[in-house]
Amino acid sequence: MPAPVNLAQAVPVDGWMARLGRRLWAPRCLVCREPAAGRFDLCARCEAGLPWMPPACLSCAMPLLPAPTRRADAVGAATAATALPAGARAASTRVAAVAAPAGGGAGLPELCSACRHATPPLSEVHAAFLYGFPLDRLLPRFKFHRDLAGGRLLAQAMAAAFCGHLRPDALVPIPLHRSRLRQRGYNQALELARPLGRMLALPVRPELLLRTRRTAPQSRLDADARAGNLRDAFEVPARAAPPPHVALVDDVMTTGATLHAAADALFDAGADRVDAWICARAP
Ligand SMILES: [Zn+2]
Ligand SMILES: [Zn+2]
C-alpha cells in the first residue's frame, strides 16, 4: 500500500503557491484596492482618513466646531460600549482608536444656533460621518451599484458610532417608492438598517413606513422645494402601530426634509419620539 502523501510537505507553507495565494486572496481596501489593514476592510491610509463626525448639533447633525477629531473623548465611547452586544462592542473599540463619539462634547451647546431658534420635529439626529472622502466613493457605489461589501462596512461604522446612544424600540429605514425600488432592486436604507439592527440587537421594522408618492429627486431642488416635494410622501399603514420610540435610518442627510416628513407620518400614527441615525451628513 503506497504511503499517504503529506500535502503539508509537498507544498511548503511558504512556497511560491502559498505566496501567490496570499497575494491573490489577501483582503483589499474597498476604496483604493491596496492591501487592507484589518479593520473595516480599508487600508491604513483610507481608514485614517475616515471623516468621523466631530461633536455635532443634536437636532441637525451639523458639526458644532470646525475642530479636528477629538481623540481624548474616544475613551468614553469605549466605556459606553461595554454594556452592548459583542458585535457592537468590537465595532466600537475600532472606532475608539480613531474618533470621538458624535454629539456635544464637554462645554459645547447641544444645539446649533439655528436649531435653538426653531422646533425641528426630530428629537435627536446622529450622523456617523461628514460626507467627504472616502464616503463619496463608498456611498454612491453602495447606493447605485449594489456594492454590498461597502454597505456592510458602512453599517459597521454606524454601529460603532451609535452604540452609546439612547436605544430606540425600533429602527425604521426611509422607504423608497415602489417604482424606484423596482428600478434599483434594493433599498439602501434597509440594507444599512438590517446589519445595524443585528449588530446592536435592535428590531428593524420597514413595514411601519411607506412612501406613497413618487417624488422628484431631492438633489435637484432647493431647500423650500424639497420640503414641498415631500409633503404627504410618507404614510404609516392603517393597521401598523409604531412603538413609542423610533429611529429612522438613512444613508445621507442633506437638508433633513425627507427625515422630517417621515417623522411627521410616524408622529401622526402615535410615535412619541423619533430620532434619525444617518451614515453621512452632507454639508
Ligand atoms: Zn485604501
Ligand atoms: Zn442644528
39 part of a folded domain: no
Helix axes 188-200, 148-162, angle to 10 degrees: 50
Express as a percent the part of the chain with pLDDT over 90.
Answer: 50
How many Å lie between the centroid of ligand 1 and the Cα of residue 27?
Answer: 11
Query: CB burial class (10 A; 0-12, 13-18, 19+) of residue 6?
Result: exposed
Interval 121-145: pLDDT, tens:
899 999 999 999 999 999 999 999 9
How many Å lie between the centroid of ligand 1 and the Cα of residue 142?
Answer: 16
pLDDT score, position 77? 40
How many Å lie between the centroid of ligand 2 and the Cα of residue 23?
Answer: 47
How many Å lie between the centroid of ligand 1 and the Cα of residue 100?
Answer: 21
Q: Which residue range forms the structural domain that includes residue 138?
A: 44-215+228-281
pLDDT score, position 25? 65
Say which residues have a Cβ less than 8 Å from residue 54's Cβ, sequence separation at least 6. 63, 64, 65, 67, 68, 69, 70, 100, 130
Distance separating alpha carbons of residues 100 and 89, to the nearest angstrom: 15
pLDDT score, position 210? 96
202 part of a folded domain: yes
12 part of a folded domain: no
How many Å lie between the centroid of ligand 2 and the Cα of residue 57?
Answer: 5
Query: CB burial class (10 A; 0-12, 13-18, 19+) of residue 163?
Result: buried
How many Å lie between the centroid of ligand 2 and the Cα of residue 59?
Answer: 5
How many Å lie between the centroid of ligand 2 and the Cα of residue 114?
Answer: 6
Q: Taking 80 as the threshold, does the pLDDT of residue 100 lie above it?
A: no
> Could you tell me the three cell numbers for 8?
503539508
146 part of a folded domain: yes
88 part of a folded domain: yes
3 part of a folded domain: no
Query: CB burial class (10 A; 0-12, 13-18, 19+) of residue 269?
Result: middle
Q: Which ligand has an atom closest to residue 60 CA?
A: 2
36 part of a folded domain: no
Q: Which ligand has an atom closest to residue 27 CA?
A: 1
Distance separating alpha carbons of residues 199 and 152, to the nearest angstrom: 11
Interval 158-181: pLDDT, tens:
999 999 999 999 999 999 999 999
57 part of a folded domain: yes
Say which residues have a Cβ less than 8 Å from residue 235's Cβ, sequence separation at least 6. 209, 210, 212, 265
How many Å lie between the centroid of ligand 2 and the Cα of residue 113?
Answer: 7
pLDDT score, position 67? 46
Residues that place a CB less than 5 A from ion ligand 1: 29, 31-32, 34, 43, 46
The amino acid that residue 104 corresponds to is G
Counted domains in the chain: 1
Distance separating alpha carbons of residues 51 and 252, to the nearest angstrom: 14
Backbone φ and ψ of 238, nearest 5°:
-55, -40
Higher per-residue pLDDT: 257 or 72: 257
User: Residue 213: pLDDT band by 50, 70, 90 thresholds?
Assistant: confident
Q: Taking 90 as the threshold, does the pLDDT of residue 236 lie above it?
A: yes
Q: Which ligand has an atom closest to residue 137 CA?
A: 1
pLDDT score, position 20? 66
266 within 8 A of 274, measured Cβ to Cβ? yes
> Where residue 154 sits, what CATH number does that domain have?
3.40.50
- Segment 7-29 mean pLDDT: 64
In the DSSP assignment, the letter for residue 56 is B
pLDDT score, position 38? 65
Q: Which ligand has an atom closest to residue 31 CA?
A: 1
User: Residue 219: pLDDT band by 50, 70, 90 thresholds?
Assistant: low
How many Å lie between the centroid of ligand 1 and the Cα of residue 31?
Answer: 5
How many Å lie between the centroid of ligand 2 and the Cα of residue 221?
Answer: 21
User: Residue 225: pLDDT band by 50, 70, 90 thresholds?
Assistant: confident
